Structure 1
Amino acid sequence: MASAQWTNDGRLHFGVGIEDTFIPQEALGHRKLDEYELTQHYQNWRSDLDHVADSGAELLRWGIPWYLVEPRPGEFDWRWLDEVAAHMNDRGIRCVVDLMHYGTPLWLENSFANAAYPERVASYARAVAERYAGVWDDFTPLNEPVINAIYCGETGVWPPNLQGQDGFVRVAVALARGLVRTQQEIEAVNPAATFVHVEAGFRWEGDTTPLSRELLEERRFIILDLAMGRVGEKHPLRSYLAEHGVTGADLDWFAHNPVTPDVLGVNYYPGFTTVSMDDSGTTQPVEAGTAGLRDLVEVYSERYGLPLAITETSRGGSVEARLEWLEESLTEVNALREEGHPVLAYIWFPFFTLVDWLYRLDHHTPDHWFVHMGLIDLVRGADQQLQRHHTPAFDAFRSHATASK
């Protein structure tokens, strides 16, 4: 198990993550998306956690389905979560709890556009932190906030289905305020808590339209910058925020309520973190390999000067491709550490097969949208149960994880 001081003991800690996107709202042409349901994690959670322990992972990124745990405002159903927390504790798994992984409860009208969102998510987070203090002490208040703002506020794919730059900024500010209030409320009930803020590592190649590359390069940091109180008079996006409705009073609130994570998590996938964009704004993934990983670590290290973690990385496709990426990426991470970049953790994400988010937008079976990027592949048997099959990547990861302890 990772030591209580995993953030400053100098080792590289290995972890895995279970895909935990929850978008429970349904609409015409938009199905419910609950990764735990689609991958049968609700039925197999105990054995899935046993697989995590057997992999040698010290850390686990695992999320709470907020919409199920708080089915009505202020009313919590802890029964399942109590069992999960106890089993993680028994197996020596240190959980970095994803408190908000995209979706809000069904009762929160208009999702992130609801004026009460920041206080609602903070109240839920406080309840979790208070109940599980000493068992769960590591928290990600909000996973990949900029992706959240894009899907929910700019492209309108997820609730509240806003569009354009006004929508992006409105959701981004709400998310940032919720992130701040979440960390404040957790600290109030668990002063020993550790915070791992996690952002997607966006990268672009070539010219971009209709949004300029300069704007995109800065916009990827905007929610972290807001939460940390870094959007001052000279911030390059201050005028952009004002143009889309952010007031001086809004920015003053963030300046007077800054929060700083103990660890800054960067998510990077070699096959699709980097994109090119055509004149219509359509993006295409660009293979960036270890060069992209190095670039992001250097950029985040220079900008924030905080301890870092690779909180998500993996490669889709064949097991051979996954094995190759495991070796290549670990070699690069170790080189970055030797150069002085404080990378504290390496987390393979997802641990097992996930269902592509596009499942939400059509009527194909979950199997049609299986993406095999994990150390374990899901295979549906004749009984319709999803069997967990270890791949050679599982054994290779375990070898590295065990050697690092």
Structure 2
Amino acid sequence: MAHSFLTNIKRHFGSGGYAGDEYGGAGGTSGRGLPSGNAGNFMFATGIECSYPTIGNGKIRRDLLEECGHYEHWQKDLQLVQDMGLKVLRYGLPYYKIHKGPGEYDWEFADKVMNEINRLGITLILDLMHFGVPDWLGNYQNPELPIHFADYCGAVAERYPWVRYYTPINEIYVTAKFSAKDGVWNEQLKSDEAFVTAMKHLVAASIMGTQQIARHRPDCVIVQSESAEFTHELRAEHTHEVQLGNKLRFLSLDLLYAHHPDGDVCAYLHKNGLSQKEYDWFMAGEPPGYQIMGNDYYGTNERMILPGGEVRISSEVMGWFNITHEYYLRYHKPVMHTETNVFDAEEAPTWLWKQWVNILRMRKTGVPVLGFTWYSLIDQIDWNIGLARKEGTVNPCGLYDLDRKPRPVAEAYRQLLREYGNITIVPHGELFEQTNRPATLKTDI
């Protein structure tokens, strides 16, 4: 009887532990281990809170970089990012302080912090506008905003050519709503016309700014950061106002990605000042770069309206997965969880793991998820009232407190990083590498 082929294998290669087997099977490695920063790997990030809107009819500037001590402790803060084992940081330069006037810039602080970030090898997602503009630009009703902001974007990209990832304007929808619809920030207006005006100026500024970035970095990756919202109306008969609001949450990305809104939204836009010529301009095509749809999710992003009109927070009825999946089916962009936290320091580790479950569910559906962000590195101030007043309330939502001491969520995040830090963006992502070629494929399949 002929002997088994295994006999030949044993004679030639031995009885196990074969040379080459140490490189793993077709499934790749488990993904365990702290993030390496390799291209194609999932991006675990944190962010440094950098909002700077004005309140009090433009007389008071809320600069969270200052209020949370970053101007004093910026070197320590960047070291904490490294100490966490993180390779990626969402970071915003103080636009209102840098852009002094048309063609005039003050780079003193920016150069110091940017050079240190580059030296530390941190991958930066650079935020260029975060809820405010320089005093000389006024507010979001200014039609000159897109040209001046575009100049600023080009100047930043030219000065820091090593930066590839950008968020041109953080949370466009929230910026327009808080500034022109809810009357909290900047112009502090409360009208549909003001909201549409702010929206079109912001989206146009993002588009023009992206074009200027792409002139210097044709391979730029644009991580749009937008609030993932939904309102549950618990009434047998729905109201037009609430249902329109659930459609308007898509408005910034519809204009940005040249996605035609439905008839109700188009009628609303034209009624409130968006001309047909402006609409056609937005619908002409997408801005350049690799476009990533970043969705931010906090418990307050979901609301319930009860039959009597009472509004209650309804965190996690749908959750990041279900809401973001709606956005994905609308735009078919790779996604990123770009912001989350909770104001209860003891509850924060559980919230972190719940958000991670949402990430894993999204990956299981086959949607490419670029990364996850705990926002922010350091505790914040007065976000419990949306920065509407200067009360000085500390929001214990950071990985570290204002004394730069770790909160419980810091260790939870480290545990998550040790377990998942080397997973790829998509399963079998080892086969693919991000390249430095410009984004050119725009074909729907």
TM-score under structure 1 normalisation?
Answer: 0.88
Question: What residue is the counterpart of 2:434 in the other structure?
Answer: none
Alignment match of 2:219 (pick from 192, 200, 203): 192
Question: What residue is the counterpart of 1:55 in the other structure?
Answer: 84
Question: What residue is the counterpart of 1:382 in the other structure?
Answer: none
Partner SS for 1:262: strand
- Residues of 2 paired with 1:295 and 1:58: CA distance? 28
Given the alignment of the two structures, is residue 19 of structure 1 paired with residue 43 of structure 2, yes or no? no
Q: Structure 2: any 5+ residue segments left out of the alignment? A: 1-34, 423-445
- What amino acid is aligned across from residue 12 of structure 1 in structure 2? F
Partner SS for 1:71: strand
Question: What residue is the counterpart of 1:115 in the other structure?
Answer: 143
Q: Structure 1: any 5+ residue segments left out of the alignment? A: 379-386
* Structure 1 contact 2–59 (Cα < 8 Å) conserved: no
* Structure 1 contact 2–13 (Cα < 8 Å) conserved: no
- What's the offset of the Cα at 1:68? 0.8
Question: What residue is the counterpart of 1:396 in the other structure?
Answer: 412
* Structure 1 contact 24–67 (Cα < 8 Å) conserved: no
- Residues of 2 paired with 1:242 and 1:45: CA distance? 45
Given the alignment of the two structures, is residue 215 of structure 1 paired with residue 239 of structure 2, yes or no? no
- Residues of 2 paired with 1:251 and 1:280: CA distance? 37
Partner SS for 1:112: coil
* Structure 2 contact 55–389 (Cα < 8 Å) conserved: no
Given the alignment of the two structures, is residue 102 of structure 1 paired with residue 131 of structure 2, yes or no? yes
Question: What residue is the counterpart of 1:384 in the other structure?
Answer: none
Relative distance call for 1:4 and 1:363 in structure 2 (3 A) is closer
Given the alignment of the two structures, is residue 288 of structure 1 paired with residue 316 of structure 2, yes or no? yes
Partner SS for 2:135: coil
- Residues of 2 paired with 1:120 and 1:33: CA distance? 22
Given the alignment of the two structures, is residue 42 of structure 1 paired with residue 58 of structure 2, yes or no? no
Given the alignment of the two structures, is residue 372 of structure 1 paired with residue 388 of structure 2, yes or no? no
Alignment match of 2:379 (pick from 336, 350, 353): 353
- What's the offset of the Cα at 1:280? 9.6
- What's the offset of the Cα at 1:26? 5.0
Relative distance call for 1:359 and 1:167 in structure 2 (3 A) is closer
- What's the offset of the Cα at 1:161? 2.0
Question: What residue is the counterpart of 2:208 in the other structure?
Answer: 181
Question: What residue is the counterpart of 2:324 in the other structure?
Answer: 297
Q: How many residues of Structure 1 are paired with residues of Structure 2 in the alignment?
A: 383
Question: What residue is the counterpart of 2:275 in the other structure?
Answer: 247
- What amino acid is aligned across from residue 376 of structure 1 in structure 2? Y
- What's the offset of the Cα at 1:103? 0.3
Given the alignment of the two structures, is residue 276 of structure 1 paired with residue 292 of structure 2, yes or no? no
- Residues of 1 paired with 2:260 and 2:127: CA distance? 26
Given the alignment of the two structures, is residue 344 of structure 1 paired with residue 360 of structure 2, yes or no? no
- What amino acid is aligned across from residue 45 of structure 2 in structure 1? G
- Residues of 2 paired with 1:337 and 1:361: CA distance? 37
* Structure 2 contact 46–88 (Cα < 8 Å) conserved: yes
Relative distance call for 1:398 and 1:79 in structure 2 (3 A) is same
Given the alignment of the two structures, is residue 151 of structure 1 paired with residue 178 of structure 2, yes or no? yes
Relative distance call for 1:152 and 1:194 in structure 2 (3 A) is same
C-alpha RMSD over aligned residues: 2.3
